[in-house]
Structure 1
């Protein structure tokens, strides 16, 4: 029942959004607007509010990074190799296969679920991982996809920097870490405003995700989407769990956060990259939906393994 009490609100809200969109209560325009609000305002407010919260302290050791990104690299590599074996898949498409197999849905599912599961003990490693995960994973994917382009290395790096500096979540992480490092925190009316907006992040994110799933076609390329899903929900968290709990040493909450972070379904950023480069869009979109649906069951397994039963 403990596991169900963690999972049911998360995926229940996704179901509410999905049903509302199917019934026509939420139009595609409203769904897109809600997603934009979550990404641009609500989650950045949550990040700043959490990082500047008094008493939020911790130390991240290299083993934490090696555990998470070691598992991500393994899943990415195998996903790309599998993609290359598919007929008609170009190099860019294979890279996106691997990226989808290792890119977690952190904003819409990861943050609310991990905070529910680990509370204050997991907040610091969660947001530290989020701070590194976004620029590193998106940066590597963008760089690899454009590696065969005509632009110089400096031009590509400058373009990547501009992309990150326009990303509200990345900017919120920088602001939150800067305020934390300076020993400052919002107070009075500012704190009340930030907390009020931050409180809407989880509910709005999950409903927006559910509504957005209506547009994805799981049957577009089910075998490939299923392959990506198996790597994302199976291999990625399994590799991180083995590294975090059985190879390296770290606090149990840190190891659990890394594992649960990896156990999240395919992130929407994979679809956004596929749409931007106009390759494997259908497969990646199908993997987003299929992995989100199957994550209802796989996260129960991971939460049970991590001791939340």
Structure 2
């Protein structure tokens, strides 16, 4: 029940945004720049605030980096390099599928859940992971 209470505001904002576009309160022309603003300005500001508020020792949680980085690289390699048996597509197409596969939502959903499960020490490594994912994906918006 606590997870629902933590994630409900995020989903409520999505539903309210959708309802505002459907009702004509906000036009679809405004929706894309608004999403870009949140993704390019608000989310990185939140992540930098989290990272700047924590000592460097807690940010260098090597167990987390090995699990996150290793898992991400493993899935990326499986889909991009070995996925030809299942996907039968070109390497370029498999690479795009691989990058799509390893995208995470460590920004809006994972941070409150990590905080609830692990306390404050669980948030900074995920914030750094989110900054890396956002930086890698920044060019697409």
Measured in 2, the distance between the counterparts of 1:134 and 1:43 equals 9
Q: RCO higher in 1 or 2 (8 Å CA, sep ≥ 6)? A: 1
Deviation by residue 1:261-300 (Cα, 9 ceiling, x = unmatched) = xxxxxxxx49x39xxxxxxxxxxxxxxxxxxxxxxxxxxx
Aligned to 1:73: 73
CA deviations 1:159-206 (Å, max 9, x no partner) are xxxxxxxxxxxxxxxxxxxxxxxxxxxxxxxxxxxxxxxxxxxxxxxx
Q: In the alignment, what sits opposite 1:7?
A: 7
CA distance in 1, matches of 2:110, 2:127: 10
What is the CA distance between 1:83 and its match in structure 2?
5.7
Equivalent-residue separation in structure 2 for 1:115 and 1:64 (angstroms): 14
Residue of structure 2 in register with 1:143 after alignment = none
Identify if the C-alpha distance between structure 1 residues 132 and 44 changes in structure 2 by more than 3 Å, giving closer, same or farther. Answer: closer
* 2:47–2:128 contact (8 Å) kept in structure 1: no
The count of residues paired between Structure 1 and Structure 2 equals 134
Q: Quote how far apart the aligned CAs of 1:59 are.
A: 4.6
Partner of 1:20: 20
Distance 1:42 1:18, change over 3 A: same
Q: Per-residue deviation at 1:30?
A: 0.7
TM-score, normalised by the number of residues in structure 2: 0.73
Which residue does 2:107 correspond to in 1? Answer: 111
Q: Which residue of 2 aligns with 1:32?
A: 32
What residue is the counterpart of 1:120 in the other structure? Answer: 120
Matched residue of 1:111: which SS?
A: coil
Conservation of the 8 A alpha-carbon contact between 2:104 and 2:133: no
Matches within 5 A, 1:145-224: none
State the alpha-carbon separation in 2 of the partners of residues 78 and 100 from structure 1: 13
Deviation sequence 1:222-248 (CA, Å, 0-9, x none): xxxxxxxxxxxxxxxxxxxxxxxxxxx
1:82 is the counterpart of 2:83: yes
Query: Highest CA radius of gyration, 1 or 2?
Result: 1
Once the two structures are TM-superposed, the CA of residue 95 in structure 1 deviates from its matched residue by: 0.5
Shift of 1:6: 1.6
CA 1:115–1:91 in structure 2 vs 1: closer, same or farther (change >3 Å)?
closer
Give the secondary structure class of the aligned counterpart of 1:39.
Answer: helix
What residue number does 2:64 align with?
Answer: 64
TM-score by length of 1: 0.37
